[in-house]
């Protein structure tokens, strides 16, 4: 990143769940903070009080200035996981899972936060939900709509992942017998179609030297990592020099066409 004016430069990171900010973008956030950005994280479905508290602790490690949350609940990737999640949702008296909430409703909530925070840059999930999570894809769609009502100078970026990594993940799902065209609690999310819509990255930022900070923050999510898929558990135990082969660069795709303000920011 070059030619930054660090005066009051604000970035809003919009994520679905507590741990997304760290596991998907922790090194990027730490790098942005060290470059002088004021970073706010908005998490739409942070989980119970314990997990929300750990979200704040992890963000503290990353250098995030402010953490804001909404009270949606976390959805499932596969319909056979519904019973456990529905029970937790009733216990917490949360609103429906992100991927089944009308996207216009989500967009309205996100738009109000964008108006309040008035960021220079907004960053959110990829169009295909990063590793195919319907909640992530729903937050992407909602943020796209929300940005449309924001200032014409706000730059909206989506996380971007190497195509080989996305295809490898899809291959693993298929080998596990999963139907990638009918994902989510109601089978509405078509991962294959979403990947087809994805665009190549427009920005690449070196973040390898911040992977240690990411690892420190990820310790607050040890329980989630332990319950996660085998590939996540293995990856999080790898030495940092190996992790850097995969996460050494943060890739972003500029989604909108903002009006550039010369000298204000370069990302």
Per the CB < 8 A criterion, the answer to whether 160 and 130 are in contact is no
Residue 18 domain-assigned? yes
User: In which region does residue 118 sit, left (phi positive, over 0), alpha (psi from -120 to 50) or beta (all else)?
Assistant: left
Helix (H) or strand (E) holding 159: strand 155-160
Q: Name the domain count of the chain.
A: 1
CA distance 39 to 127: 22
Residue 265 domain-assigned? no
Tell me the DSSP string of 87-107.
HHHHHHTPEEEGGGS-HHHHH
Place of tokens 């029970």: 87
Per the CB < 8 A criterion, the answer to whether 37 and 7 are in contact is no
Residue 1 domain-assigned? no
Residue 109 domain-assigned? yes
Residue 163 domain-assigned? yes
pLDDT, tens digit only, all 267 positions of the chain: 444 444 558 999 999 999 999 999 999 999 999 999 999 999 999 999 999 999 999 999 999 999 999 999 899 999 888 765 555 544 444 567 899 999 999 999 999 999 999 999 999 999 999 999 999 999 999 999 998 766 678 899 999 999 999 999 999 999 999 999 999 988 999 999 999 999 999 999 999 999 999 999 999 999 999 998 888 999 999 999 999 999 999 999 999 877 776 666 567
Place of tokens 């596969």: 78
∠ CA 103-179-72 to the nearest 5 degrees? 30
CATH of the domain at 69: 3.40.50.10320
Q: Partners of 38 in the beta sheet?
A: 10
Residue 194 domain-assigned? yes
Residue 5 domain-assigned? no
Per the CB < 8 A criterion, the answer to whether 4 and 265 are in contact is yes
Q: Which domain holds residue 19?
A: 10-254
**Coil, helix or strand for 143?**
helix
Count Cβ atoms below 10 Å from residue 118 Cβ, excluding itself: 12
Residue 264 domain-assigned? no
Helices (H), 42-92: 49-62, 82-92
For the chain, how many helices (H) and strands (E)?
12, 9
């Amino acid at each position: 990143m070059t030619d930054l004016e660090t005066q009051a430069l604000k970035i809003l990171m919009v994520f679905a769940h507590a741990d997304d900010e760290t596991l998907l973008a922790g090194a990027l956030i730490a790098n942005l903070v060290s470059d002088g950005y004021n970073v706010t994280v908005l998490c739409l479905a942070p989980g119970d009080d314990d997990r929300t508290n750990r979200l704040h602790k992890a963000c503290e490690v990353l250098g995030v200035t402010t953490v804001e949350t909404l009270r949606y609940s976390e959805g499932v990737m596969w319909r056979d996981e519904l019973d456990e999640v529905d029970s937790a949702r009733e216990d917490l008296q949360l609103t429906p899972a992100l991927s089944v909430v009308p996207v216009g409703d989500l967009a309205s909530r996100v738009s109000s936060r964008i108006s309040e925070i008035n960021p220079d840059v907004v960053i959110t999930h990829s169009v295909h939900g990063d590793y195919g999570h319907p909640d992530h894809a729903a937050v992407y769609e909602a943020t796209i709509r929300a940005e449309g009502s924001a200032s014409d100078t706000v730059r909206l970026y989506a996380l971007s992942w190497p195509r080989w990594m996305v295809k490898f993940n899809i291959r693993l799902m298929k080998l596990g017998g999963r139907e990638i065209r009918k994902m989510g609690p109601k089978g509405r999310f078509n991962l294959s179609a979403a990947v087809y819509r994805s665009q190549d990255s427009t920005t690449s930022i070196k973040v390898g030297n911040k992977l240690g900070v990411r690892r420190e923050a990820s310790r607050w999510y040890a329980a989630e990592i332990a319950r996660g898929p085998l590939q996540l558990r293995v990856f999080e135990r790898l030495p940092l020099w190996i992790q850097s082969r995969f996460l050494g660069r943060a890739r972003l795709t500029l989604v909108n066409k903002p009006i550039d303000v010369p000298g204000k920011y370069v990302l």
